[in-house]
A and B are shown apart, each in its own frame.
Chain A
Amino acid sequence: MNPHSILRVVSKFLIPFIAVFAFYVQFHGDFGPGGGFQAGVILAASVILYALIFGLDAAKKAVPPSWVRIGMMIGVLLYGGTGVATWMLGGEFLNYGVFTPDHPSHGQHYGILLVELGVLFAVASVMLAIFYAFGSRQAELSDEDW
């Protein structure tokens, strides 16, 4: 019997829950501890767990490095773009209130949602990029050598 079957079965079960938990933490940041950075790290952790159990190549097929690079850029542009959008609408940089001038608190809610989304993309992509960069440098151990 494959000695790693327990690990594989359990992680196959858990990884989707970890990813969903990441999104829960992301959206719960409005009301409690949470937010973009924590959620990004948890999301990256789910992919890293997949890479640890099933191998780096399988992980690279699931989340290709090109996605990771684009994710970094999208994250930064979402955050900065929100600020640039507030500039276009006439306010100072990152003055979310100008999104909905009559109810500033609504605009602030949307603005914070957007920037936290940007942070999620950026942090998850960067963590994955770091892992891919470190992981690609050593030859992988084959299963029998564990």
Chain B
Amino acid sequence: MLELFSTFNYAVIIILMMLGLYVVFAARNLIKKLVGLSVFQTSVFLFYISIGKVSGGQPPILVDSHKTEDGHASVESVQVAAAGDSAVQHSLHHAPEVLYSNPLPHVLILTAIVVGVATLAIGLALTVRIREVYGSIEEDEIDRIDYQYNLEGVAK
């Protein structure tokens, strides 16, 4: 039970994930399903960020004093190979006294956020079209209208 308090972030992630999935399955309104999908995807973002945290680590932004003389930040030495809290904690060659959190999950999440936005945009566009064609965005009403349409299609 005590572990639950130290890993409460994972508990929150799982609760959000299940809430999102439940809303997707249980909601009858098309927009609410998209909202559920967004909540579900948000829990995944939280998950990735949680595993990127290194205990005692700073946000993964290069501290100012380590720029090289020619004005460009030295990119070659920034290779972080650590995973999550439990793995070995590496630090950068030229900054032995600064510990950074893992920047890789942040990049992965940016990509996933963009993907989520694109999916949401298409979902909403489809919902708008469905509203124009069927006149409603409640699933049961659309089912009823389609039932007639399907019957006519069969009878033709």
Task: Verify if B145 is at the interface (C-beta below 8 Å from A).
Answer: no
Q: Which residues on A are within 8 Å of B, measured CB to CB?
A: 30-33, 35, 37, 103-106, 108-109, 130, 133-134, 137
A30 & B73 in contact (Cβ 8 Å cutoff) = yes
Identify which of A37, A103, A108, A130 contacts B121 (C-beta below 8 A): A130
Neighbouring B residues of A104 by C-beta, 8 Å: 76
Task: Verify if B156 is at the interface (C-beta below 8 Å from A).
Answer: no
A31 & B114 in contact (Cβ 8 Å cutoff) = no
The interface stretch among B9-17, B34-42, B92-100, B124-132 is B124-132
Neighbouring B residues of A106 by C-beta, 8 Å: 70, 72
Neighbouring A residues of B76 by C-beta, 8 Å: 104-105
Neighbouring B residues of A31 by C-beta, 8 Å: 61-62, 73
Number of interface residues of B (CB under 8 A): 16
Neighbouring B residues of A30 by C-beta, 8 Å: 73
B125 & A37 in contact (Cβ 8 Å cutoff) = no
Neighbouring B residues of A103 by C-beta, 8 Å: 70
Given A31-B61, A32-B61, A33-B61: A134 in contact with B128 (beta carbons within 8 A): yes
Neighbouring A residues of B110 by C-beta, 8 Å: 35, 37
Secondary structure call for the B interface: loop
Given A31-B61, A32-B61, A37-B114: A134 in contact with B125 (beta carbons within 8 A): yes
Within 8 A of A (CB), among B68-115: 68, 70, 72-76, 110, 114
In the assembled complex, the CB of B109 is this many whole angstroms from the nearest CB of chain A, namely 12
Additional A-B contacts beyond A31-B73, A32-B61 (9; CB < 8 A): A31-B61, A37-B110, A103-B70, A104-B76, A105-B73, A105-B75, A109-B73, A130-B121, A134-B125
Chain A, Cβ-Cβ closest to B61: A32
Alpha-carbon distance between A33 and B62 when the two chains are bound, in angstroms: 11
Alpha-carbon distance between A109 and B128 when the two chains are bound, in angstroms: 42
Alpha-carbon distance between A106 and B61 when the two chains are bound, in angstroms: 19
Given A31-B62, A32-B61: A109 in contact with B121 (beta carbons within 8 A): no
Name 17 interchain pairs, CB-CB below 8 A, sorted by A.
A30-B73, A31-B62, A32-B61, A33-B61, A37-B110, A105-B72, A105-B74, A105-B75, A105-B76, A130-B121, A130-B125, A133-B125, A134-B124, A134-B125, A134-B128, A137-B128, A137-B132
B125 & A109 in contact (Cβ 8 Å cutoff) = no
Alpha-carbon distance between A30 and B110 when the two chains are bound, in angstroms: 15
Neighbouring B residues of A109 by C-beta, 8 Å: 72-73, 75
In the assembled complex, the CB of B41 is this many whole angstroms from the nearest CB of chain A, namely 16
Alpha-carbon distance between A35 and B68 when the two chains are bound, in angstroms: 22
Closest 4 CB pairs of A and B: A109-B72, A105-B72, A32-B61, A130-B121
In the assembled complex, the CB of A144 is this many whole angstroms from the nearest CB of chain B, namely 26
In the assembled complex, the CB of A45 is this many whole angstroms from the nearest CB of chain B, namely 13
Neighbouring B residues of A108 by C-beta, 8 Å: 75
